[in-house]
Chain A
Amino acid sequence: MTEVLKIENLHKSFGDLNVLNGIDLSVAKGDTIVILGASGSGKSTLLRCVNFMEIPSSGRIVLQGKPVGTEKADGINYPEKELTGLRARVGMVFQHFNLFPHMNVKQNVMEGPRTVLKCNQAECARRAEEYLDKVGLGWKAEAFPSQLSGGQQQRVAIARALAMEPEIMLFDEATSALDPELVGEVLETMKELADEGMTMLIVTHELGFAYTVADRVLFLADGKILEQGDPEKVLIHPQQEGTKNFLRGHGSFRLPEPVLD
């Protein structure tokens, strides 16, 4: 087993607010990990610490066996240059897509390889074609984001992240902003990635998706992992009261019986 990502005793606070209170996690290559938790439990913050959109207050992030930052007497020092380099290796997909509206679909996908990786034109074009085809939107290459449906925009955003050929992908509620009928196409794309062996950390409220696709489910409460295990264990036979309450709140999703008892 190759460990792609290891999180050690991760803490993050904003001022007086302690959002993450000691997270430990090991992610092997090809793992699909779904993170559940109530709103405000720190799911986004956890993902954002992995690609250093937020700087951890303490603890360690280890990517491909190499700890990020340099250990100093008063904590870990994170040079900006190292962080930009690290972000290029970690893909992120946002709730609100955040496509670049002044660029067409193809330019959106080529932007990272071009500006960050300094790929030549041919290589940029190859990547754009490959990853747009992968999300089924090669035929929309010349369209602008505003001309696409939400589901299509999110698939382009996934292609944009994939074009960096990242070592791990982070999804932060990638389908939460979508109309219900558009959720399926995005989940389908994510499932294909998981099947192809992409390493993924997924924050979602789609329990059905978590049940079918996840190798492991984490339940986050008060900035800690309250419960974790395979989907059957966490979603169907939760042990913790917090997890049970959360799942009851999602009762409208059809899941096998025991969860609702």
Chain B
Amino acid sequence: MEHVWDFSAVFSNWYLLLIGLKNTIVLAVVCLVLGLFFGLFVGAARYSGNRLFNWPATAFVEIFRNTPVLVQIMWFFFAFPIISPFDINAFTAAALGLTLNTVAFSSEIYRAGIQSIHKGQWEAAKALGMNYSQQMGRIILPQAVRRMIPAFMNRAVELVKMTSLASVIAYGELMHQAKTISTIEFNPIEMYTSVALIFFILIFPFTLLVQRFEIRSKAKG
């Protein structure tokens, strides 16, 4: 079948797509910020020698690493509201799934980053009379975070892509908007091609940045 490409319906619905793009970015940013923030604590708990912290943190990380994100989002939308005392809309469910997923992954990045710092750095800081939080804050984290940045950036890229999964619970991000428009306008080819292009334009510069950063940090050693 010959297909005549016609993007007019894509352009005429630009406003809906823009809303979708905004919602995609909002969801990604919220999940990234919260995920990185709480990931630090879960990472610290996993690193801790104390079983009371270490066990739950490990269980949490393993659950989220070993189940599909789609399942997590569906669970928070369809299953969680039944046992939860408060209302859960599509945004909350998607944000919960993706944030907790990011917490699990970033806690591993923190942990690996911190473990990559030589034991001698802890010792030198300790020998100067620093307490644990000074050792961590002044000596270990500043070095570790530099090594973590490429991994965090990769994670951000993955997260932006994963937001499209929220379309299954009708959160109005880019993918969901595209789905809606394409059923009305009967233009799946143009619509999904455009969405792919928009994602590409959104993500590609970031990927380039990550690559440059990785090369730079490799060169620095």
B123 touches A88 (CB 8 A): no
Q: Is A98 a contact partner of B123 (Cβ separation < 8 A)?
A: yes
**Is the C-beta of B44 less than 8 angstroms from some C-beta in chain A?**
no
A85 close to B129 (CB less than 8 A): yes
CA distance A86 to B127 in the complex (A): 9
8 Å CB interface, A82-126 against B: 84-92, 94, 96, 98-102, 111-112, 115-116
In the complex, the 10 A-B pairs of residues with the closest C-beta atoms, listed nearest first: A88-B129, A98-B124, A98-B120, A112-B128, A92-B127, A87-B129, A116-B129, A84-B131, A84-B129, A102-B143
Binary contact readout B95-127 vs A (1 if CB under 8 angstroms, 0 otherwise): 000000000000000000000001011011111
A contacts with B, residue count (CB < 8 A): 28
Q: Which of B55-63, B69-77, B134-142, B205-213 contacts A (4 or more CB under 8 A)?
A: B134-142
Q: What residues of chain B have their CB less than 8 Å away from a CB belonging to chain A?
A: 118, 120-121, 123-131, 134, 138-139, 142-143, 146
Q: Are A53 and B130 in contact (CB under 8 A)?
A: no
Q: Is the CB of A164 within 8 A of B128?
A: yes
Question: With A and B bound together, what is the CA distance between A84 and B128 in angstroms?
Answer: 8
CB-based contact B123/A94 at 8 Å: yes
The contact string, 1 if C-beta is below 8 Å from chain B, for chain A 136-175, is 0000000000000000000001001100100000000000
Q: Give the secondary structure class of B's interface.
A: helix
Residues from chain A with Cβ under 8 Å of B123 in the complex: 53, 94, 98
Q: Which residue of chain A lies nearest to B118 when distances are taken between CB atoms in the complex?
A: A98
Residues of B within 8 A of A87 (CB): 126-129
Identity of the chain B residue whose Cβ is nearest the Cβ of A51 in the assembled complex: B127
B139: A residues at CB distance < 8 A: 100, 111
Q: Do residues B146 and A102 form an inter-chain contact, with CB atoms below 8 A?
A: yes
Is A164's CB under 8 angstroms from B129's CB?
yes
Are B142 and A102 in contact, with the CB atoms below 8 A? yes
Give the chain A neighbours of B138 by CB distance below 8 A.
111, 115
Name the B residues within 8 Å of A116 (CB-CB): 128-130, 134
Let me know if A115 and B130 touch, CB within 8 A. yes
Contact A111 B120 (CB under 8 A): no
Closest B-chain residue to A91, C-beta based? B127
Given A112-B129, A116-B129, answer yes or no on A99-B124 (Cβ-Cβ < 8 Å): yes
Nearest-neighbour CB distance to chain B for A52, whole angstroms, equals 9
Which residues of A lie under 8 Å from residue B142 when comparing CB positions?
102
Give the complex CA separation of A250 and B90 in angstroms.
75
In the complex, what distance in Å separates the CA atom of A102 from the CA atom of B141? 11
Closest to A90 in B: B127
A53 touches B128 (CB 8 A): no
Chain B proximity of A153: nearest CB distance (Å): 12
Task: Let me know if B124 and A100 touch, CB within 8 A.
Answer: yes
| A80 within 8 A of partner (CB) | yes
A-B contact pairs, 23 of them (CB 8 A): A51-B127, A53-B127, A80-B131, A84-B131, A86-B129, A87-B126, A87-B129, A88-B128, A89-B129, A91-B127, A94-B120, A96-B120, A98-B121, A99-B124, A102-B142, A102-B143, A112-B128, A115-B130, A115-B138, A116-B128, A116-B129, A116-B134, A157-B124
